Amino acid sequence: MFIDKSMTRTVITIGPDAGILEARKKMDKSGVRHLPVVDEYDKVVGIISDRDIRSALPSVFSASRESFEEIQQISALKVRDVMNKKVITISPMDTLEDALLIMRKSNKGALPVVDRNGKLKGIISSRDLINAFINVLGIEEPGTLLCLVVEEKLGRMKEIVDAITEEGIPFGSILVAKHWEKGKRAVFPYLLTNNVAKIKRKLENMGYTLIDPMEWSLDQTRRS
């Protein structure tokens, strides 16, 4: 899925010369934690987060000054003084997987989406990614998650899908992940039914090993 299908298009922005108190007020009012900083041409020149603002304010309060002077110091701080100028952006035609990997590598909670000229087109946040993957996986609908341990051989996935489809059971999604045993994969069909006893017996009779999905973990795959 492309970013432009899941990004937030109506973006709350701020200019570099605005005060940080104005930025905090905008965040509080809109319930967001990141504001892209744009110039007069709507080009992204930075990004400011609630963490940036929190980091800036204590340095002012810690100074030994009268309250009025402290307020003046805070009021004088501009967005440009505390924003992150090295902005990591993403294109509308990049994928959700691209955004997920970039966020994990950069430890960022949101990425401005810009066109080839650097003009802001939207923003993709961790919340947007969660919502997108929930939709893709179909897990908002009631159902049951199975976990099968499968040998890495051609045709296994088709065999599983055919077996489930023959029983008239609809899929929410099906995922394939690593398994800690060499030459095997963990397959997770999310079935849109709670009546799975029959299909579980059928899959076991076909030679597949079913495990509790909670028994599979990334920690085990990392140790292998």
Yes or no: say if 79 and 48 are a contact pair by the CB < 8 Å rule.
yes
Q: Give the tens place of pLDDT for each residue, 71-126.
A: 667 778 899 999 999 999 999 999 999 999 999 999 999 999 999 999 999 999 99
How many CA atoms does the CB half-sphere of 112 hold within 13 Å?
30
Is the pLDDT at 188 greater than 80? The verdict is yes
At 31, which CATH number? 3.10.580.10
At 152, which CATH number? 3.30.70.260
Residues 171 and 77 in one domain: no
Which region among 81-85, 138-142, 146-150, 198-202 has the lowest average model confidence (pLDDT)? 138-142
pLDDT score recorded for residue 67: 58
Residues 178 and 150 in one domain: yes
Q: Which of 68, 102, 135 is the last residue of a domain?
A: 135
pLDDT score recorded for residue 64: 47
pLDDT score recorded for residue 141: 83
Number of domains in the chain: 2
- Interatomic CA distance for residues 188 and 12, integer angstroms: 38
pTM of the full structure: 0.70
pLDDT greater at residue 184 or residue 221: 184
- Interatomic CA distance for residues 28 and 18, integer angstroms: 16
pLDDT score recorded for residue 36: 97
CA trace torsion 173, 174, 178, 183 (10° rounding): 180
Is the pLDDT at 196 greater than 90? The verdict is yes
pLDDT score recorded for residue 63: 47
Residues 54 and 162 in one domain: no
Q: Give the tens place of pLDDT for each residue, 12-68.
A: 999 999 999 899 999 999 999 999 999 999 999 999 999 998 888 755 444 444 455
Residues 54 and 101 in one domain: yes
